[in-house]
Structure 1
Amino acid sequence: MAAAADDLARRLAAFIPLPQPPQKEQLSGVAAAVLDAGGRLGRAVGDVFRRLRIDEGLDVALAQRHRRNGGSRIAAAAAAVDARVSKDSGGGGVAGHDPVGVSGRFARSQGSMNLSATYDSRTSDVESSVVARGDLWRAEASHSSAAAAAPPLFMVQLGPVLFVRDTTLLFPVHLSKRHLIWYGFERKNGVHSVCPAYWSAHRRWFFMSMICLNPFTCSFMDMQFPNGQLRYVAGDGFTTRAFLPLCRGIFQAHAKFPGEKKFSYSFKNRSGGSITPMVQWPDKSFSLGTIQTLSWKRCGLMLQPALQFSICPTFGGSRPGLSMELIHSVNENAGVVCGYSHTASPSAYASISIGRSKLNGSAASSGLVLRVDAPLHSFGRPWFSIQMNSGLEF
């Protein structure tokens, strides 16, 4: 019965995708750093205090003895901590126990670094980025040769303190397990801000805002919930996305006010493929995306698509036409993609991914993605792009 129930649950999960709570890896930029600052700092501080917890009876006895001997209150407290350390390290406690966790949490502290560089021959643009993170710190930097289109980004997190683009400082004035308040200062414009953040116990709900004090305005707001997200950026308006399980599929809505709205419905068929009709407004276009799995491969105990074919016709709007794509995952470290787009400017492309890439995931420590695009009309030249990725842990 148990095996049959597990098999039924897997089949239902394959046809009815359930919404997942937003994880911090899916959050963007400052929001992910906020959760890292609150969660990791809270765990580390709590771990230190738990390891340095002092027995009441021992504290009182040692403090009274030092006061009788003329010792100060600070010396008495220090003696109590020293006695607790001696007790835990061998005097009646567990042999070799480290009370402050030097050989525990902080000795096991690990970090990671990811580097990426991309070159596009059509624009001669070079983009590079590096992301490094540890238990209580994080650093991100990116640069593009087209500086006007993408200004350099630099962010450093040291515990709960954030530095963004060397002109903005976020410093905590209140820390808690589930809500934080930052003071922000932007040196370039001399703007002072207050930035509150709150998340639920299981991180299913998250809210963050930045309120400028001179002048008093809300410049940024980000609210994420189990079924979507709502974001506001001053000068850019509102952006929202939401999804809802409906009739063995998922209904999704992406909207920008002012701006474009997209509504789609995705569902899976019995052969492992998916169908996604989509309506875009005010473009007044309709597209029908279909992804069909042609073969499968076994990875451990799971089956994953090895060969997929997708086709998406678009009717009406500013870019009607047809696009097709064939994706072949050779193994964990190699993948090939071929595509064709029949629009007002038809083109074909092919790419190969080796090692660490978006298609292959983090299966290797380094990787390479090479893509070639070729226009199929009488004018225009082929172009290529190269992306190199590398990751390491320390």
Structure 2
Amino acid sequence: MTCFPFLFGKKVSSDVRRDPEIDEGLSGIRIKVYTYKQLKIASDNFSPANKIGEGGFGSVFKGVLKDGKVAAIKVLSTESKQGVKEFLTEINVISEIQHENLVILYGCCVEGDHRILVYNYLENNSLAQTLLAGGHSNLYFDWQTRCRICIGVARGLAFLHEEVQPHIVHRDIKASNILLDKDLTPKISDFGLAKLIPSYMSHVSTRVAGTIGYLAPEYAIRGQLTRKADIYSFGVLLVEIVSGRTNTNTRLPMGDQYILERTWELYERKELVQLVDISLNGGFNAEEACKYLKIALLCTQDTPKHRPTMSSVVKMLTAEMDVNESKITKPGLISDVMDLKIREPKKKIGLETFPSSYNASSSSDSQGTTISLAASSAATTSTFTLKHDQSM
């Protein structure tokens, strides 16, 4: 089991000047602290030539640290009102847990008003910018590679959900938060929205946060967060990886725009193989591809308790466990996917933008908009109108 260092009061050792709010938040965490000068030198004065990503959080630069490590230097915008909270959350969650399928946090900079996270550099960007980029990438994802990516992400999530204590719910599993190393090994990134759930709690009530298209309906409506919300998001991601398509594409005919709905329709007609990415040119195991899509349907079922655990998902993906097709029911869907708003009587709920992964091309990338909004109570009837990013 893994325990978090901030639970045991370990100190951060540094002689640099820090923001008082951040200093208080970091008081129980052991982590390497870089000076602003060190990171400025590493990134060649944050040269535009070294910029590898930009989003609502700020910018990310490739850099070479003094010890020779190549790093992704994630500079949070000083204008972000949510920056401090997310900065601390990301450090708290990822500071000392390690897994092959998670990004590695080298350290941070808290000098003056600078808030910077330093991660290991991943050569091949994200799934959003490669596999789902619509032919704008030089990488080719054969079927075996896609299988390895699906299994790797599932193993990373199973580690967060079941092995780490307290359990971690990521809350923003999506293609732009799955980064790829030189061997196309997937790494889950961006823990700014993560929540800790102690093993004795069934759920936590929280404001709704995540990305349109990946949000589990029961979480979006009631704000009751469980690990099953991540499992729903993973199911959507699984369909994207098999099909090579983003979860929503308003340029397609109406019946094909929303990939989860399309998956269910093809499943009912026993024609799931039609959803497999045509760029594979038939070079895939049809039975295995259909099995993966059935696992995705299990993960996205409307009733959260019917969704499998991530450890069970890993076993199904690796053929250690059979897929019980009799348990598959219709996925949970929010049908009118046009600009997520919640309308409650006599009450307006504001939207707040949260950061995307360090390799996202913009704050509203092709994977949709990451949002946070106050959760409605279970007793309140809410009307959802969802709008997906029109650039897709």
Normalised to the residue count of structure 2, the TM-score between the two structures is 0.24
Tell me which of the two structures has the higher relative contact order, counting C-alpha pairs closer than 8 angstroms and 6 or more residues apart. 2
Tell me which structure has the larger Cα radius of gyration: 1
Query: TM-score under structure 1 normalisation?
Result: 0.24
| Structure (1 or 2) with the greater strand fraction | 1
